[in-house]
Amino acid sequence: MPGPPPKQTMESGPDLTGMLLENRYKVLTALGHGGMGSVYLARDRKLGDRKVVIKIPHARMLNRVQFRRRFQQEIHSLVRLEYPHVVRIYDIGNYSDYPFAVLQYLAGGSLKSRLETRSGTMHPEEVLEWLPTIARSLDFIHRKGYIHRDVKPGNILFDSEGHVFLSDFGIVKMPEHRDLALTYAGQTPGAPAFMPPEVVNVAPATPAYDQYSLGVCVFLALGGRFPHQANDTQSLMRQKATQLPIPLHMLSPEIPRSVVGIVVRALAADPDERFGSCSAFARAYHEEIKSVKRRRSAVHGTHSGRRNQWAKLLAPLDRLWTPQSRIAIMLFLGIAALLISWILWSRSAPAGG
């Protein structure tokens, strides 16, 4: 049933704070406002006050032809994407003629917030805390015929236990739609920094699109900056199509060059030169990290072995180094010093003196 009139109507839509939606969802506070809609934290009063997320599109989006119908159709379709590490959509509703979606709430923050608290970068091994799982989640939606098209740190979320989830399917390309789902004419989906260069050719989106975006996330996590940077979107996309990324090992010397090569392949300008799947990219990265650790352990073991050999050779001397032996050596050195001094003095004394 429709709710009461909105407290405040803006270009971004109604302010839902404090509202009770569908006589069930009590909105607590706004979590953020994006390019397509707003996000709120709410409690589901029918399920023990469980926390949920409410997403509602901006007013200007609802003025676009067919957007409302497509919003509801696509939310229904996305409900079918049940996977352990894909954020679940629980319900859809309507508030004062504004459709909204109810999603799973995750209390652990986003990869974006984690990077911000770690001075912008992660150790190469820390990336493995989320990369393989997100890669498998992307491969899952790809097998279902979907392309996410907005993979970025803000859409990689964690629960309170540290488990990672793929979120925000607001601009996903769906199998039943050939055009840009949940976008309108003239708008390019996604954030330009995470887009692959092939978007400028209006080529059909493929799984390689999401792999490129995932590669940007890894590059950003390791190096603390984007692989390409420019003052405008057109120049940025031209760079992506014609130039290699900034040398990642120069941004962080602790990153092995072999690992850099894995990330650069995921960012290849030609989609056919990227990995066969997101999981293949994650596996290659994981295997190279393990290989680097084995090589470093082998070198460390060689040095340790040499130190142990010297320790064995010197062990008999250690047993002789008693307090009595130290006193004897000191007396010997003292007598030797006196003898040397006397010899030097005698040589320097005048003859016949």
Which residue did the predictor score with more confidence, 134 or 38?
134
Query: Looking at residue 187, what is its pLDDT?
Result: 45
pLDDT digits 0-9 by tens, 50-68: 999 999 888 877 777 677 7
88 lies in a domain? yes
* 314 occurs within a structural domain: no
The three-class DSSP label of residue 85 is coil
Long-range contacts for 289-298 (Cβ within 8 Å, ≥24 apart)?
289/124, 289/125, 289/128, 289/259, 291/258, 292/256, 292/258, 292/259
The answer to whether 92 and 76 are in contact (CB under 8 A) is yes
Please state, in angstroms and rounded to a whole number, the distance separating the CA atoms of residues 30 and 145: 32
Domain containing residue 161: CATH number: 1.10.510.10
Considering the domain architecture, whether residues 290 and 184 belong to the same structural domain is answered as: yes
Tell whether 68 and 155 lie within a shared domain: no
CA distances to 266, 276, 286, 301 from 280, in Å? 10, 6, 10, 31
pLDDT surpasses 50 at 180? no
Q: Is residue 16 part of a domain?
A: yes
Sequence-separated (6 or more) residues with CB below 8 Å from residue 317: none
- Whether 66 and 112 map to the same domain: the answer is no
Mean pLDDT of 282-307: 79
Residue 204 banded pLDDT, cuts 50, 70, 90: confident
Query: What letter represents residue 45's amino acid?
Result: R
**142, amino acid identity:** H
Asked if 2 and 74 sit in the same domain, the reply is yes
Query: Do 206 and 238 belong to one domain?
Result: yes
Using CA atoms, how far apart are residues 322 and 151, in angstroms rounded to an integer? 68
Query: Is it the case that residue 1 has pLDDT exceeding 50?
Result: no
pTM of the prediction?
0.77
Higher pLDDT: 27 or 34? It is 27
User: Tens of pLDDT along 140-173?
Assistant: 999 999 899 899 999 999 999 999 999 987 556 6
Q: Which residue has the higher pLDDT, 23 or 72?
A: 23
With respect to residue 174, please indicate whether it lies within any of the assigned structural domains. Answer: yes
Which one of 77, 105, 133 terminates a domain?
A: 105
Contacts of 153 (CB under 8 A, 6+ apart): 110, 111, 112, 115, 217, 220, 221
On whether the CB atoms of residues 148 and 141 are closer than 8 A, the answer is yes
Domains in the chain, number:
3
Domain identity same for 142 and 202:
yes
- Distinct helix (H) and strand (E) counts, the chain: 10, 10
Range of the domain at 344: 322-353
| Domain boundary, last residue among 88, 105, 122 | 105
β-strand 37-44 against 50-57: which pairing, if any? antiparallel
62 phi and psi angles, rounded to 5 deg = -70, -15
The pair of structure tokens assigned to 28 is 């607590």
CATH number of the domain where residue 1 is located: 3.30.200.20
Q: Residues 261, 134: one domain?
A: yes
Q: What is the DSSP letter of 110?
A: B
